[in-house]
Amino acid sequence: MAIASVVNDKVFFEEVKVQRYQEGIWESIVDSVLVEVPVALIYNGYSHVVVMCTPNDIIDFVYGFSLTEGIIKSLNDIRSIELVPNERGIEVAIEVDPLCVVRIEGRKRQMSARTGCGICGLDSLSDVVREQEKIDFDFVMDEASIDRALQDSSALQMMNQKTGGAHAAFFVSNRGEILLTREDVGRHVALDKLIGAIHQKKINSKTGFILTTSRASFEMVQKAVAAKVGLLVTMSAPTTMAIKLAKQMNIKLAAFTRVGKINLYQG
């Protein structure tokens, strides 16, 4: 499949032939496999990072990644975005306010971020924990709202239903209504795409929470703080560093969530 054909028309999978062994029998079947391509983010002419992800919602990703990485302070800092697909992947030429270049220099990378992680490739341990503004409000968590979102989440995971290979991130209203869904092969990219969409649509992030299908690792909390949400809910496990950061940043953190079950690690 040509990469140029999937940037605009939302194709996210390819059908491939596979030999399947089941109950003592080999058979030929057709399987749907998630499309993954390298996406190079180039700020003001300088290559910053290469991320492996699906070629969908790239504009959302650019805004979300730029915000959660602290490269920009608001969407207005980005002056233009141009997608340039080629046979090797997708190059994204991003023109930002000159003041942002200093921040980009402070987040240098020496390698590709293979899963869309905001930390991979940094050349100094001091760059891992960066300064962020604390969450300045107390989000009121409602167990029924989390349950409702969990119940509705599976039906909205189109990529995962088709391929079984995608993580999802959701923005959920305080009533439990899923307002936005973004999926990707990497959990970090799915979250960045969601955060980019939240800001592009000018949704007040204080009016809801983020739910993800992944674990709650440090950088997922860091991104949620950058999005200015008061609660991050994950379906899998947390890490010690994620819990520590959540406490420092005053964001509520729930993990191992299922319908009728919540482990609240911070808040």
The alpha helices in the chain, defined as continuous H runs, are: 58-68, 100-105, 143-153, 158-163, 187-200, 218-226, 240-249
- Note the pTM of the prediction, 2 decimals: 0.89
257 labelled ligand-binding: yes
Claim to verify: residue 97 and residue 180 sit in the same structural domain: no
What is the structure's pLDDT at 102? Answer: 78
258 labelled ligand-binding: yes
User: In whole angstroms, what is the distance from residue 230 CA to residue 167 CA?
Assistant: 21
Q: Which two tokens stand for residue 125?
A: 């341990």
Claim to verify: residue 148 and residue 73 sit in the same structural domain: no
133 within domain boundaries: no
What is the structure's pLDDT at 160? Answer: 96
What is the structure's pLDDT at 131? Answer: 82
User: Residue 190 burial by CB count (10 A; 0-12/13-18/19+): exposed, middle or buried?
Assistant: buried
Claim to verify: residue 175 and residue 186 sit in the same structural domain: yes
Claim to verify: residue 190 and residue 244 sit in the same structural domain: yes
Claim to verify: residue 262 and residue 154 sit in the same structural domain: yes
User: Residue 18 burial by CB count (10 A; 0-12/13-18/19+): exposed, middle or buried?
Assistant: exposed
Helix/strand/coil for 243? helix
| Residue 213 identity | T
Find the angle CA(175)-CA(179)-CA(182) to the nearest 5 degrees.
Answer: 135
What is the structure's pLDDT at 105? Answer: 75
What is the structure's pLDDT at 7? Answer: 52
What is the structure's pLDDT at 115? Answer: 47
Catalytic residue positions, numbered: 117
Claim to verify: residue 14 and residue 41 sit in the same structural domain: no
Domain count of the chain? 3
16 labelled ligand-binding: no
164 labelled ligand-binding: no
Question: Which of the listed residues 127, 155, 181 is the one where a domain comes to its end?
Answer: 127
Which residue ranges of the chain lie beneath pLDDT 70?
1-10, 106-129
Domain extent at residue 71: 37-127
User: In whole angstroms, what is the distance from residue 153 CA to residue 5 CA?
Assistant: 29
